[in-house]
Amino acid sequence: MKIGIIGYGKMGKAIEKMALYHGHVIILKINSKNTHELNTKTLSDIDIAIEFSTPTSAFKNISFCLMNNTPVISGTTGWIEKIDEIRILCEQQKGAFLYAENFSIGMNIFFQLNNYLAQLMIATDYKLQIEETHHASKKDTPSGTAIKIQSDLNKSFKKDDIIPIKSNRIGNIRGEHAVEYFSEFDSIHIKHTAHNREGFAKGVILATEFLKNKTGVFSMRDVIKN
Q: CA end-to-end span of the chain, whole Å?
A: 19
CB 59 within 8 A of CB 82: yes
CA atoms within 13 A on the CB side of 58: 23
d(CA 53, CA 33): 12
Among all residues, which ones are annotated catalytic? 134, 138
Contacts of 203 (CB under 8 A, 6+ apart): 100, 103, 104, 105, 108, 220, 223
d(CA 78, CA 148): 12
